[in-house]
Structure formats: C-alpha cells, structure tokens
C-alpha cells in the first residue's frame, strides 16, 4: 500500500525501506491545518510495526504481538490509527483479519482463510502462512520468503560460500591467517567429542566473527549432518553467538528444519529465496 484516504479525506502516504520491500519505514500524515508530519515505524525482526513515533521520537502508537501476529495489547498515545501488520498485511478492524493482497490471514490461528491462489506452487499446505512467523514473510499471500533477519545473515554467509565449500580447515588455513584470523581448538582437552577447528577475527568496528569447521565425525563420534562442514557465527556480546549460516557439500543432510539462517550445499542455497 502506498497511500490511504480516511473518511475526512485526509491522505496518508507510506514510505518503505526500499523499492522492493514491504517493510514500512515512515508515513506522512496531514494535520487539521493540512501541514504534513512524518511518523516513523519501528519494526520487529519480521518487519511488523511495533511502534510509531513522531519527528522527536515521541511514541504515538505501540503494539505487541504473539508469534503469528495476534495482538497482545495496542496503545494509541495520540489519536492515530495504525493498521499495518505483517509485511503486506492491513488490519480489517471489523473482522480482525489481515488483508494480505490475494487473500485474508487470521492471526488467531496463524493461517490464511482461503487456499493458496497459486495452488501447490506455494507448498503442500494451501493455508499455511510460513514455517516461522519471526523470520519468514508472505506479503502477497502466495508463497513465503525469507525475512530481513535471514537476508542479513545470508549477506555475510554468502561471502564465504566459494571460499569454504568442500574445503577442510587445512585447505584455507594459510589464507585465513594471512587475513588476520586466529585459530583455536576449543575441544582439544576433551577427546571424546568431535574436534572442531575455529577461526576468529574481530573487525575494526568491534564485531567478532567465527568460522567453525566441523569434521565429519566417526561411528563413535557421529556428526548429525553426515560429512564435514563450516558454520559461520557472529559474536553478539549479549549471550550466545548468532549463527549466520552453514556451508556444506555432497551428502550434507538433516538441515530441513533450519529456517532462520541459510544453508549452502555445493554452493547452492537450500532453504531461502
């Protein structure tokens, strides 16, 4: 949606994060004197609005949601109505359903109310919204795609796909060391576990990344994914490190439930768009 007009003929103009995005960035509203004011959206990981503020940062509207978009509470600090929900969705306040371009979505059950208009091309479950409401989006009501969180992780992981696909730590050791990475062996004191080799580097901006090489394992020390692979991490400094992606090859398996970060096999992205 680009513009909406209320009963009093006041029009609101919507601005999005980029020309191909459904994630709202701001809206421009006129007041009673027809002066225009910019309101800024503050969104969740999946691009759903959580707050609307004015030019000075004052909160005008806020709402918290359950995982599949059902409202927990909604507060209007100013007389302003905000109906955008998940990306591409607009709240119908009479029914509580979300208009999702080509069909309606019910946030109470996390499902569409009509079957997918593109049939099985959108998946076997004709009423499913997405595998995960936090990291996947379906702005057209056709077929879901990865969210900004997935895309952010993928933007880092994809830099390493060609360099690490099918490579063992010994194959890339000299290159990583020459680029300022340091090598560690975190499992060296525990011989009963698979011996990972981890490369660590902190950027000039203070962000720490880890490239974790997982060996293929053995009968006594099995690797859940079958053969060896790499896992890319980012250290947050506020808890567990964030997994940015996995890079495997050949018979890499058991990745079908990984939805929040990219999985590459033989250079091909297996779980995102």
pLDDT tens-digit map of 73-117: 999 999 889 999 999 999 999 999 999 999 999 999 999 999 988
Q: What is the pLDDT of residue 94?
A: 94
Regarding pTM above 0.75, the answer is no
Same domain, 38 and 131: yes
Per-residue pLDDT for 130 more than 80?
A: yes
- Tell me the C-alpha distance between 177 and 25, whole Å: 41
Domain final residue pick, 146, 174, 189? 146
- The counts of H helices and E strands in the chain are 3, 20
Whether 246 and 230 have beta carbons less than 8 Å apart is answered as yes
Strands 111-112 and 136-137, bridge-based pairing: unpaired
pLDDT tens-digit map of 192-228: 777 899 999 998 888 899 999 998 766 666 667 778 8
For 175, other C-beta atoms within 10 Å of its C-beta total: 11
Domain final residue pick, 97, 117, 146? 146
Same domain, 190 and 132: no
Q: How many domains does the chain divide into?
A: 2
Domain final residue pick, 92, 117, 146? 146
Same domain, 219 and 243: yes
164: containing domain: 155-269
Highest-confidence segment of 19-33, 58-72, 120-134: 58-72
Compute CA 60 distance to the chain's CA centroid, rounded to the nearest angstrom: 26
* pLDDT class of 188 with cuts at 50, 70, 90: confident
Helix (H, G, I), strand (E, B) or coil at 176: helix
- Tell me the C-alpha distance between 60 and 62, whole Å: 7
Report long-range pairs for 204-209 (Cβ below 8 Å, ≥24 apart). Answer: 207/234, 207/235, 208/234, 208/235, 208/237, 209/156, 209/233, 209/234, 209/235
Same domain, 121 and 241: no
Q: Enter the tokens of residue 221.
A: 């020390």
Whether 92 and 79 have beta carbons less than 8 Å apart is answered as no
Same domain, 129 and 175: no
Same domain, 56 and 25: yes
Whether 152 and 146 have beta carbons less than 8 Å apart is answered as no
For 92, other C-beta atoms within 10 Å of its C-beta total: 12
Same domain, 163 and 262: yes
Same domain, 53 and 13: yes
Helix (H, G, I), strand (E, B) or coil at 16: strand
| R_g of the chain, CA atoms, integer Å | 23
Same domain, 122 and 171: no
- Tell me the C-alpha distance between 42 and 271, whole Å: 27
Same domain, 8 and 125: yes
Same domain, 211 and 176: yes
Q: What is the pLDDT of residue 192?
A: 74
Name residue 56's beta-bridge partners.
Answer: none
- Summarize the confidence of residues 50-69 as an average pLDDT: 95
Same domain, 109 and 12: yes
């Amino acid at each position: 949606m680009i513009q909406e007009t209320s009963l009093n003929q006041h029009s609101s103009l919507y601005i999005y994060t980029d020309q191909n995005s459904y994630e709202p960035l701001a809206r421009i509203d006129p007041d009673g004197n027809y002066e225009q004011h910019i309101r800024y959206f503050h969104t969740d990981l999946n691009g759903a609005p959580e707050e609307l503020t004015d030019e000075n940062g004052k909160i005008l509207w806020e709402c918290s949601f359950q995982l599949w978009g059902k409202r927990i509470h909604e507060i209007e600090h100013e007389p302003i109505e905000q109906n955008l929900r998940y990306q591409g969705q607009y709240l119908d306040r009479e029914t509580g359903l979300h208009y999702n371009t080509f069909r309606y979505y019910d946030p109470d059950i996390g499902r569409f109310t009509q079957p997918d208009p593109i049939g099985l091309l959108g998946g076997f479950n004709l009423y499913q919204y997405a595998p995960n409401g936090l990291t996947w989006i379906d702005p057209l009501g056709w077929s879901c795609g990865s969210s900004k969180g997935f895309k952010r992780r993928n933007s880092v992981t994809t830099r390493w796909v060609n360099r690490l696909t099918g490579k063992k730590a010994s194959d890339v050791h000299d290159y990583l060391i020459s680029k300022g990475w340091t090598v560690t062996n975190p499992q060296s004191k525990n011989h009963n576990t698979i011996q990972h080799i981890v490369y660590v580097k902190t950027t000039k901006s203070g962000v720490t990344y880890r490239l974790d090489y997982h060996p293929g394992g053995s009968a006594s020390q099995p690797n859940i994914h079958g053969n060896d692979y790499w896992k890319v991490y980012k250290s947050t400094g506020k808890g567990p490190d964030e997994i940015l992606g996995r890079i495997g090859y050949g018979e890499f398996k058991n990745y079908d439930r990984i939805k929040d970060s990219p999985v590459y096999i033989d250079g091909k992205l297996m779980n995102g768009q």
